A and B are shown apart, each in its own frame.
Chain A
Amino acid sequence: MSEVLVFGLCAAVVAGLGLYGAIVDPRPLRKILGFNLLGSGVFLFFGVVARRGAAAGFPGDPVPQALVITGIVVAFSATALAVTLLLRFFETTGSSSLRDGAAADGARDTAES
């Protein structure tokens, strides 16, 4: 069961890294990457918890394993939505900064109507 300890600590560190990246880096795409790292750290923790629950001939508790599959799909759709939103924001304003007023700094919106 040493893998529980090793990968559990790995999961915690990855989650911390993701948090740091998502907060510190001002580039939205890097924030999205940070969010994905954070998410995968949390998912990995699900896997560790599942592994600890190995019983009845299963290599792991199937419930947290199934939850992770749902979680990965949700995280991917979140990433897709965020990336599309970011690209559209960049195309519309010429900037990808999240600062207040950055939207107004860039080229004024082209107002499709």
Chain B
Amino acid sequence: MAVPVSGPGSTEGGALLVLAIVIPVAAALLGFAAGGRRTERIALGALPIGLTVAVLIAAAVPPASAVPLTDGVLTYLLGGWAPPLGVALRADGLSAVMLVIAAVVVCAVGVFARADFAIADGAAETRAPFAFWILLPMIWAGLNTVFLAGDLFTLYVALEILTFAAVPLVCLDGRGETLQAALRYLLFALLGSVLYLAGTVLLYGAYGTLDIVLLSQRVAVAPAPLVAGALMTVGLLAKTALVPLHLWLPPAHAGAPPAGSALLSALVVKGSFFIVVRLWFDVMPGLPSVAATQMLSTLGAAAIVLGSVVALRQERLKLLIAYSTLAQIGYLFLLFGLAFDVDSAAMQKGDALAGGMLQAMSHATAKAAMFMAAGSIYVAMGHDRIAALAGAGRRVPVAVLAFALGGVALAGLPPGGAYLAKELLLGAAARTGQWWWAVVIQAGGAFTGAYLLLVLARVLAPPDRAAAGDVDTHHGRVAWYPQAAALVLAMVSLSLGLVDWSAWLPIPPGARLAASVVDTLAAAVWPVLAGGVLAVLIGRWTTPSGGRLARAVATLGPLRRGGIALGENVCRGDAFLRRWPMAGVSLLALAVAFGAALWTGR
């Protein structure tokens, strides 16, 4: 029965949760009404306020994050109406850390974007800046709602806010390719949302509520939640672009303006990923089976291999980073296979979940830094063809440093958050005896090292004399602050491993950074070495003038030819999967397979 007035359901400090959503929404509304220069000012002004609110929420969340999402967490009953009639906002440790990371990334992107979307005082309002300074707070509002909403339908509306704000970002430059990318993104994402919505109605029909906590108490093995779980998972995977549902991601993320790419890659895909986590760990923790969790992780492993290999074969920097996002999304889904506890046949909130969330946070910060750095490099060089980026290190050293540090953090080198994440995931793999995921985890780090080295080898090379005069004519100047914003984010990602996360994430005691110097060194050296080998074997080394590197690589003979053949085949496979009918077949087939895996896996 609903409580008509603010009852015991709302906890102390719960009103902060409202502010986390209201502030960006209000900024967007005000900015829309005000127009012109004021749109930018309002959006920028909202950034520090929202960041403060996020930090306050993280401080207020009770350190009981290992327990399921129940009344122990920060709760707010909207309108004073308790679920199931009303809608609650809830923050647990996972929400809190994601809120803070999202706020940090949004702030950095805001600073960065001033370079591209500044509106001069008194100048006429123009299209792209006006849209951007409203889309930025809108994406933020959507994300915060995703992290806080305690109701599956509110989550649906939040997902739609994210999609509707993300699509215009993709085609802000109005070119034909980006319009096509945006259209593909929108159409596929809409299919995903409807599948998600279909799941919610099945759950409502079976249990009469859409509240996550109430559902977690009521969901039992029955046709409705199984079919709902399969449909919702697949719908969300389509929005997250997990291989093989990734037809839209590479062109969309590579075509958007750098600030947009950073938001899309770092945050937007995390929104739907976060809901998958909520669904599997909180809504239906007892439903998943070995088959279903292993399937999710297998898709993740496929994404790592496919995304990384195709990334190594890219000619353009932004496409390389986009494919790297594909691989990193796969990395996130490894946690499902590792978090499933066979004995209790339920999802367990433990080291695997903590590792996965840490990976999501590290990727959010590092990938935003890398896209922003790539944006600066693009401006400085006038293009982003990797083969002709020699000399970028001298022109925009800070951006290149940010790119390198972001890559280092992402490859899982200490003390990055990804390193700690890797340790946690490896620990979970060892504990549960799933050595095959340990192999995949290590391979993921090595692949990241590979494309990092591939890019660094080019950008750090001295300027190509033959091409220098040509490039100089159309390079632009890059202000210091966009580069600095990227660098700060990269540093944040690199230092995430130093924080004690046990107050928010279910980290078992003792899982900290590797103790000994030798271990640390080994952890640092091996992804780089293995990455180097991979980069040499599979990477694209051709240069316009046939540089020394290319000649050196060519001496490897048959090994290199084998690597290239493998790379080309994976690229063909990627192109095949990214055709619309195939992606559709994958979507439906996965829905059926998940249903079957959930059904028979017990």
Contact = CB atoms under 8 A, between A and B. Distances in A.
Is chain B in direct contact with chain A in the complex (CB below 8 A)? yes
Interface of A: 15, 19, 22-24, 26, 28, 31-32, 35, 38-39, 42, 45-46, 48-49, 52-53, 63-64, 67, 70-71, 74, 77-78, 81-82, 85-86, 88-89, 92-93, 98-100, 102-104, 106, 108-109, 111-112
Contact of A45 (B157, B198, B208): B198
A22 B189 CA distance: 12
A23 B584 contact: yes
B190 A93 contact: no
B157 A74 contact: yes
9 contacts: A23-B580, A23-B584, A35-B194, A78-B164, A82-B190, A98-B184, A99-B579, A100-B579, A104-B176
Contacts of B194: 35, 38-39, 42
B135 to A, nearest CB: 13
Contacts of B186: 78, 81-82, 85
Given A64-B204, A70-B157, A89 B187 contact: no
B198 A89 contact: no
Given A45-B201, A92-B174, A82 B208 contact: no
B176 A103 contact: yes
B179 A100 contact: no
Interface in B228-265: none
Interface residues of B, number: 37
B581 interface: yes
A15 B167 CA distance: 25
Contacts of A86: 183
Contacts of A106: 176
B2 to A, nearest CB: 12
A8 B581 CA distance: 28
B205 A77 contact: no
Contacts of A92: 174-176, 179
Contacts of B171: 85
Contact of B153 (A67, A93, A98, A103): A67
Contacts of B153: 67, 70
Contacts of B139: none
B212 to A, nearest CB: 16
Contacts of A112: 174
B175 A78 contact: no
Contacts of A109: 174-176
B31 to A, nearest CB: 19
Nearest to A64: B204
Given A49-B204, A78-B160, A85 B174 contact: no
